[in-house]
Amino acid sequence: MSMDSDTAAGTGTSPRLDSKVPAGATADKWENHKFSMKLVNPNNKRKFDVIVVGTGLAGASAAASLGELGYRVKAFTFHDSPRRAHSIAAQGGINAAKNYPNDGDSVHRLFYDTVKGGDYRSREANVHRLAEVSVNIIDQATAQGVPFARDYGGLLDNRSFGGAQVSRTFYARGQTGQQLLIGAYSALMRQVAAGTVELHTRAELLDVVLKEDRACGIVTRDLLSGEVTPHSAHAVVLATGGYGNVYFLSTNAMMCNVTAAWRAHKKGAFFANPCYTQIHPTCIPVSDDFQSKLTLMSESLRNDGRIWVPNGMDDARAAADIPESDRDYYLERKYPAFGNLVPRDVASRNAKTVCDEGRGIGPLKNGVFLDFQAVIARDGVEAISAKYGNLFDMYHRITGENPYDQPMRIYPAIHYTMGGLWVDYHLMTTVPGLYSIGEANFSDHGANRLGASALMQGLADGYFVLPYTIGDDLAGLLGQTAVPTDDPVFTEAVRGVEDEQKRWLSINGTRSVDQFHKQLGRIVWEHIGMERDKAGLEQALTDIPTLREEFHSDVRVLGSAATLNQSLEKAGRVADFFELAELMARDALEREESCGGHFRSEHQTDEGEAQRDDENFAHVAAWEWHSEGTAQTRHREELSFEDVALSQRSYK
Amino acid sequence: MGGGHGETISVTLRVWRQDGPDEPGRFDVHHQTISTDASFLEMLDLLNEELNAAGEEPVAFESDCREGICGTCGVMINGRAHGPQKATATCQLHMREFSDGDEIVIEPFRAAGFPVVRDLAVDRSPLDRIIEAGGYISVGTGAASDANLTPVPKVAADQAFDAAACIGCGACVAACPNSAAQLFTSAKIGHLGLLPQGQAERWSRTETMVETMEEYFGSCTNHGECSEACPKEISLDFIAFMNRDYIKAKVRNRALTGQH
Ligand SMILES: Cc1cc2nc3c(=O)[nH]c(=O)nc-3n(C[C@H](O)[C@H](O)[C@H](O)COP(=O)(O)OP(=O)(O)OC[C@H]3O[C@@H](n4cnc5c(N)ncnc54)[C@H](O)[C@@H]3O)c2cc1C
Ligand code: SF4
Ligand code: FES
């Protein structure tokens, strides 16, 4: 099993995990630190090459900002255009402590809510900085032309989101992610035109290259020609998104994957809290075997819809035929104070419980009703259609059912991953010169992310944090040239990638990559999903390696490596998911507590709520890779809470 | 139309196959029996499973979000960009829009500016070149003033949004008999040109973007097919807006540099 890095003491931060959090009061740290960091003078910036992988919100904002500062940036995406990144799909909104509605919001309150919402498993200093720069993001995006919602006076409108008690969420219809990404993308394209950013599209990172323990570049494969190319730089930034697709079915875009982060992990970057994954309660349930992804129905629907299942098991009647007396509005019953608006994890787990009891609805009995009849009767069809029209239409298009006439069917689905590459206060991983930003890192959300906070974090990292912190490190490298790409470290890495492609093509087994991915997803969902327990996690730890072995001997990838070959692309990504899945199970097993998105059924209160163990687990678990077949080492970074008192969440 | 759960229909697919940009193409015929609950792309996923099992290379086609927002998907279905359903991207189209016995012809987006890279996948990068030519507001990180300093009339903000909703899928180009990119370009020019923040560069932006567009794409002869095919129903009014601004830009840009 795993080795704890400091088993002797049992506690204390591993010496490998220096968070570099500056001294001083939490609220002053960032301001003071900005002043104390080293600067690179404007003329010297052009002597540094920086690679940014990923052009979602985090990557595009970072690449654009670094380009503006004068660094020589190379930006990479495996999409055909930077504008396609998964960030584009975010619907609900982005938080910022602007306090425009004058309802009592402040940097401190956003900081406090985020630490509490993360179930006290995030680093206070990082979260505070995030809350501080949140206000700048709204200014920046607005100046770029992001058409946020406005009131009739022409000023910006806010809404309350995800159970927050203040209205701090800025939104752009149901397309906030799209509009923010177009803003960041346009800033990026401006730098491409200015010549400060060299853009590489359809280029997939397949390895991170180190020289003398420092990141010096990457290896990419051109997805059209298959050409494998080394790229060198003084620093490498990974902004490659989350790993929710390890579950196969998730709300993530089809191409989201862990490959960049995982390959960095195998080169020495510690992977933190892989078991922290977030379930979103309102998604359209799985309907068929051929289903390729899950669709999110915005959380805002819970403001007006009532969630229920029949009282009895296997009730096959249509919703309209089930009288009130036979319905169980279980959230309203169990949580009178919050009702249908309980946090994501609580709503999700309760849906699972009633379905497990056999009270699920729909053809596969795998959903619960989200019912709008009461609000339609109260406010009229028109009012509801003005609010939710596009969501109702989307639901109708996908399911063929009309939510104006019958309740929606919903079920939880994987949505976001809080775990990721461990980074210090500078957003640098445990590999010097290698950074990680956005969903790809583990930083600010602890064990649970609040709604509308991922967009905020990605853009905070990219626009306002990394451009400062990276200079402190680069300043020390002045006069050093980047490692040339004909250095043996690069030629070896290129050969490794080429060999990997050949290996996939040579197996010629019987099952497709997707079939394996689906099967893996089922194991991960079953055992490392909404609820975990020891027996299930141990089962996963035998099932995953078994299936993985079959994958490596029986997968069928046809065609060649010298053309667009989507099965070949997927093979490498699924291989990495297999290894990640195993680490998720191990991480979940070791974390003998429930917190946020990690619910261990052995650790719950009498009322069935998550039971944290602050004494033993108020730490980040960061895993160190050694080699194929060797157990990874679990390191810990202790978390201390100076400004936010630890308490048990309650929504009764 | 199908509808209801679990109905199954049989369709004949004529799918364009092309091994590479410079290779000749051909139609392959396949018969599929499929649930009407499947999305169009899930139907292609299943086809690919069958091909792979039979030892044939799967059909290359692109998609990512499968929620109609990223603009990655897009094929011609029976001659129509994104297929028969109005305001619907290929990934949002479901098999209940088809009937038992239908023949479905599936081709890549056909446009001079979008060379085929393989099977149903095309290269739409010229759209990025148009944005690069001026589809932005020049405000460096950190240079922005408070977001509420400049009120934006709600109507302007809403109209700008209608244009900004473009997903960059390129269906407008594929639907156009001239392979023109007017709708895409005008959506961006309209989005930025309608906002107060976008005024400083309004005329220079229009000029450079339109001229870059003309390097890659055909000219507009007002067919209106683009807006019909557009999954976001971007209005033809934006093309009129762009054309007006382009004519004005010629004068204004000279005026700005003192060449009256
Ligand atoms: C349906 C949905 C709705 C959401 N709604 C909200 C919301 O309302 N508010 C909110 O705050 N958050 C929301 N989120 C979460 C949020 O959208 C994401 O967490 C965030 O956008 C991630 O941004 P990113 O820049 O880190 O990564 P991404 O946007 O995922 O970008 C990753 C980038 O990396 C590139 N890439 C990845 N791997 C490689 C590789 N190996 N080689 C080369 N390039 C690579 C990709 O091409 C892409 O450019 C939502 C998420 C989903 C799924
Ligand atoms: S204008 Fe419409 S059809 Fe053209 S790229 Fe934009 S969304 Fe696609
Ligand atoms: S796959 Fe994203 S729009 Fe269709």
CB proximity under 8 Å: A 591-630 to B: none
Q: How far apart are CA A180 and CA A553, in angstroms?
A: 43
Helix (H) or strand (E) holding A98: none
| Percentage, residues of chain B above pLDDT 90 | 93
- Locus of tokens 């088809």: B98
Relative to the alpha carbon of A93, which ligand is closest?
1
Q: Show the domains of chain B with their CATH numbers.
A: 8-118 (3.10.20.30), 124-255 (1.10.1060.10)
Contact A240, A440 (CB under 8 A): yes
- Locus of tokens 């919100």: A57
Q: What is the DSSP letter of A462?
A: I
A615 CB burial (10 A radius; 0-12, 13-18, 19+): exposed
CB proximity under 8 Å: A 100-129 to B: 100
Q: How far apart are CA A59 and CA A260, in angstroms?
A: 13
Measure CA B212 to chain center. Answer: 18
Contact A651, A340 (CB under 8 A): no
What does the pLDDT read at residue B259? 60
Contact A78, A204 (CB under 8 A): yes
Q: Check whether B209 has a pLDDT greater than 60.
A: yes
By C-alpha distance, which of B37, B33, B32 is closest to B4? B37
Contact B145, B173 (CB under 8 A): no
User: Domain A5-89+177-279+416-477 classified CATH 1.10.10.10?
Assistant: no
A344 CB burial (10 A radius; 0-12, 13-18, 19+): buried
Measure CA A562 to chain center. Answer: 32
Q: How far apart are CA A312 and CA A328, in angstroms?
A: 9
Q: Which CATH architecture has domain A488-628?
A: Up-down Bundle (1.20)
Strand partners, B30: B13
Strand partners, A421: A271, A441
**Upper half-sphere CA count for residue A341 (Cβ side, 13 Å):** 12
Residue in B4, B63, B88 closest to A254 by CB? B63
Q: Using the beta-carbon criterion (under 8 Å), do B64 and A145 form an inter-chain contact?
A: no
By C-alpha distance, which of B117, B215, B109 is closest to B172? B109
Contact residues on chain A for B121, CB-CB shorter than 8 A: 564
Range B218-227 average pLDDT: 95
Atom of ligand 3 nearest to the CA of B65: 2
- What are the DSSP E strand ranges found in A292-427? 306-310, 327-328, 368-371, 408-417, 420-421
Active-site hit among A109, A123, A263, A344: A344
A357 CB burial (10 A radius; 0-12, 13-18, 19+): exposed
Contact residues on chain B for A173, CB-CB shorter than 8 A: 161
Both structure tokens of A54? 């990923």
Interface test with A, best of B141, B159, B188, B204 (most A CBs within 10 A): B141
Q: How far apart are CA A30 and CA A36, in angstroms?
A: 10
Contact residues on chain B for A253, CB-CB shorter than 8 A: 64-66, 70
Q: How far apart are CA A272 and CA A274, in angstroms?
A: 6
Q: How far apart are CA A429 and CA A265, in angstroms?
A: 9
Q: How far apart are CA A454 and CA A56, in angstroms?
A: 12
User: Domain A281-413 - what CATH class?
Assistant: alpha beta
| Positive or negative: CA dihedral A460, A461, A467, A468 | positive
CA distances from A149 to A154, A583, B155, B159 (A): 9, 42, 11, 12
What does the pLDDT read at residue A15? 92
For B82-115, how does the pLDDT look when each residue is reduced to its tens digit (9 = 90+)?
999 999 999 999 999 999 999 999 999 999 999 9
Domain borders along chain A are 5-89+177-279+416-477, 281-413, 488-628
Question: Nearest C-alpha to atom 8 of ligand 2 is from which residue?
Answer: B169
Both structure tokens of A545? 């390696």
What does the pLDDT read at residue A2? 44
Contact B70, A321 (CB under 8 A): no
A377 CB burial (10 A radius; 0-12, 13-18, 19+): exposed
Q: Check whether B47 has a pLDDT greater than 90.
A: yes
Residue A76, SS3 per DSSP: strand
For residue A65, which phi and psi values (nearest 5 degrees)?
Answer: -65, -40
For residue A441, which phi and psi values (nearest 5 degrees)?
Answer: -95, 175
- Residues in chain A, total: 652
Contact A42, A171 (CB under 8 A): no
Query: Which one-letter amino acid corresponds to residue A205?
Result: L
Query: Which one-letter amino acid corresponds to residue B151?
Result: P
Q: Is the ipTM of this complex over 0.90?
A: yes
Q: How close does chain A come to B126, measured CA to CA in Å?
A: 10
For B139-178, how does the pLDDT look when each residue is reduced to its tens digit (9 = 90+)?
999 999 999 999 999 999 999 999 999 999 999 999 999 9
Contact A410, A285 (CB under 8 A): yes
Both structure tokens of A138? 């709204």
pTM greater than the 0.80 cutoff: yes
Q: Check whether B248 has a pLDDT greater than 80.
A: yes
pLDDT along chain A (652 residues), means of 10: 44 90 97 96 96 98 98 98 97 95 96 94 98 98 97 93 86 94 98 98 98 98 98 98 98 98 98 97 92 90 93 93 96 92 87 94 94 95 86 90 96 96 98 98 95 96 98 96 98 98 98 98 97 98 98 98 98 98 98 96 90 96 96 97 87 73
Regarding the beta carbon of A453 and ligand 1, being less than 6 Å apart is answered yes
C-alpha B65 – ligand 2 centre gap (Å): 16
What does the pLDDT read at residue A341? 86
What does the pLDDT read at residue B12? 98
Q: Using the beta-carbon criterion (under 8 Å), do B72 and A192 form an inter-chain contact?
A: no
